[in-house]
Amino acid sequence: MNAIARRETRTPSAAGTLLVAATLLLATVASLAGAGLAAAAPPPLRFGIAPLAQTGQIGATPAPAVGEDLRATLRWLDRLRPARHRFVLRLNRFFWADGERAFARYLRLARRFGAAGYKIELQVRYRPPVGKAGDIRAWTAHVRAVVRRFGRIRAVEALQIANEVNFDFSPDSSDGWFPGARGALVAGVIAARDEARRLRLRHLRIGFNWAYRRDPAYERTFWRDVGRLGGSRFARSVQWIGLDAYPGTVFPPPSPGLDEGRALVAAARELRKYARLAHLSSRLPLRIEECGWPTFPGRSERYQATALARMVLAAWRARGELRITDFRWFNVRDGDTSSPLPFQHFGLLRSDYTPKPAFATYRRLLRDPLGRGHR
């Protein structure tokens, strides 16, 4: 992966320019609806965000979030989400290695967020307990337990099995580093779908994600391996595929003139291309599971709002062509605004719960026709 680099601060007018463009697009959408022409348009995107402050770091060492206050998080989420429309919270860092402690915490979070009216998507990390790496029988038993216990909560509508298995160098953020990860991805998806069918949990959708990206030769090998290991049973079990992309931060790296929205759509096109190597249907819904733009030192908070608007608008425009159904921003709050670590700065809020400009940008987009997702 390219090293994270700093980006030159853009002019303060950039975010405003994007919001003007957004307003024009929204006016077009509204006029089409008024003319009765919107019936043939693809469905609106379903929007969401990652609500937990702790984020995965590049490498093996975690960086804890400071001063996380769930009540404050809920207050800001309530200000952010559009009224009367579905808004999805993606709970990350649910580790197999953490056993019952993880179940207790995340079941509590799912119930609390669900009671507040949110839909929940759970990231089921492979990260194995000591001595269990590559133990597929134990892993699939764990996955089935996840389906049984979380599937009872009606607000939980999706499980993402494993995380970024194509990234094999960063155990804190991604599962590919752990032995047996590719087999675990395949077996986990099959087990989760089988258990959901057995329990008739029709509301629970099973999928997996891919991080954008390593070099093309590596990615082709990865996807062919997934197809070889999974075969037709895996292909039938997958109900959606997810994209994690950080244009201007991870790949593509920062460069003058980079348009984060165009880069996000390019990533989605690549995912569609690679997924064919695993015999996955082009009709599968594609969810943008993670995208973000961290404001670490040397990077402008105001430009974060520009990058967000570009990515939201680009995903909206490409949703029909690429069957993009969902968009999740990463994430609601910084892990630690005072930290020098780049991945502690993804939030729309600083770690003291004061908003960055991007908070208002996302809020506005969610309240316009872009945010009118499925009820």
**225 SS3 class:** helix
Q: Where are the domains of the chain?
A: 45-371
Per the model's pLDDT, the better-predicted residue between 348 and 29 turns out to be 348
**Which residue type occupies 321?**
E
> Which DSSP state fits 246?
-
Structure tokens given for 101: 């402690």
Q: Is residue 3 over pLDDT 50?
A: no
Q: Is residue 27 over pLDDT 60?
A: no
Structure tokens given for 45: 């995107």
> Which DSSP state fits 289?
E
What average pLDDT score do residues 306-331 get?
Answer: 98
Helices marked H in the chain: 13-34, 70-80, 99-115, 136-151, 181-198, 216-237, 260-275, 301-322, 357-367
Alpha-carbon torsion (362, 53, 172, 101), positive or negative: negative
Q: How many other β-carbons are positioned within 10 Å of the β-carbon of residue 243?
A: 27
- Which residue has 């994600």 as its token pair? 209
Whether the full predicted model's pTM is greater than 0.85, yes or no, is yes
Confidence of residue 302 (pLDDT cuts 50, 70, 90): very high
What was the pLDDT predicted at 15? Answer: 52
**Which residue type occupies 238?**
V
**264 SS3 class:** helix
3 state SS for 93-112: EEEHHHHHHHHHHHHHHHHH
Residues 96-146 have pLDDT tens digits of 999 999 999 999 999 999 999 999 999 999 999 999 999 999 999 999 999
What average pLDDT score do residues 175-197 get?
Answer: 99
In whole angstroms, how large is the CA radius of gyration of the chain?
19
- Rounded (10°) angle between helices 70-80 and 357-367: 50
- Which residue has 């609106």 as its token pair? 44
What was the pLDDT predicted at 18? Answer: 55
Structure tokens given for 306: 């520009």
Distance of alpha carbon 268 from alpha carbon 242, whole angstroms: 9
What was the pLDDT predicted at 142? Answer: 99
What is the CATH number assigned to the segment(s) 45-371?
3.20.20.80
62: nearest Cα among 345, 337, 335: 335
Q: Is residue 373 over pLDDT 70?
A: no
**Which residue type occupies 132?**
K
153: nearest Cα among 209, 199, 98, 85: 199
